Amino acid sequence: MLTWQWLGRVAYADAVSRMEALRARILDGDEAAQTLLLVEHPAVITLGRSADRAHVLASADALAARGVTLAPSTRGGDVTYHGPGQLVAYPVVRLDRGVVAHVERLARAAIDVAASFGVSARFDRACPGVWVEDRKLASLGVHVHRRVAIHGLALNVTTALDAFELIVPCGLRNARVTSLAAESGRSPALAEVAAAFAAAFGAAPSPLHSSTASVE
């Protein structure tokens, strides 16, 4: 049974450590360790396995001035930004239908959440992500080892969209980025959106789902 946890604001490296620890337990046979982690990160630019460092447009000094750090990532994809106001979903799960089905399940959950706020979104496999017309609402990237997946999806809720000017988002030079707040005119709390995402993803309620942690 997949349970979920809303952890609040967690540093990127700490979230990765949590994911890897859960994956190790699953690989050791502890299926109860399968968990949907829902977090918000302090400002960080992550570089996926196929990242082009030139897609980070800001200098080291400019990033430091904005309090943005850089971090390598084992997920697929290029360069992306995480920061306050963005919900990041990390399902640590054993795959039973393959990677594409897993990514589509993540995208569908984000689309369902967007719809609950009156925003019509779609999944694009050619330019992986969740889109509102030509504006990117959520980014996707996973890592799978022995059929157990980590990483996941980043959904812009009330994210400061000018932060994406620091990068070429996911390597797409002409892509615009949007958020639920920009599209709906509402600014929901991340905890509210986390609960909606967990329900849409099909995670079961758990005594752990209301736990919060702030690690920076």
Q: Each residue's pLDDT tens digit in the chain (216 positions)? A: 689 999 999 999 999 999 999 999 999 999 999 999 999 999 999 998 888 888 999 999 999 999 999 999 999 888 999 999 999 999 999 999 999 999 999 999 999 999 999 999 999 887 789 999 999 999 999 999 999 999 999 999 999 999 999 988 867 777 899 999 999 999 999 999 999 999 999 976 543 333 333 332
Confirm if 40 and 89 have CB atoms less than 8 A apart. no
Burial 49-73 (b: 16+ CB within 10 A, else e): eebeeebbebeeeebeeeebeeeeb
Q: How many residues does the chain have?
A: 216
Which tokens is 9 given? 């604001």
CATH code at 3-201: 3.30.930.10
- Whose CA is closest to 152, among 66, 23, 61, 33? 23
Residue 173's pLDDT is 75
- Catalytic machinery residues: 170
pLDDT given for residue 198 in this prediction: 96
Burial of 148 (0-12, 13-18, 19+ CB in 10 A): buried
- C-alpha to C-alpha distances, 123 to 4, 114, 147, nearest whole angstrom: 23, 12, 23
**What pLDDT, on the 0 to 100 scale, is given for residue 204?**
61
134: left (phi over 0), alpha (psi -120 to 50) or beta: alpha
CB 153 within 8 A of CB 138: yes
| Residue 215 confidence (pLDDT) | 33
Query: How far is residue 193's CA from residue 208's CA, in Å, rounded to a whole number?
Result: 17
Q: What is the DSSP letter of 206?
A: -
Q: Where are the domains of the chain?
A: 3-201
pLDDT at residue 213, rounded to an integer: 35
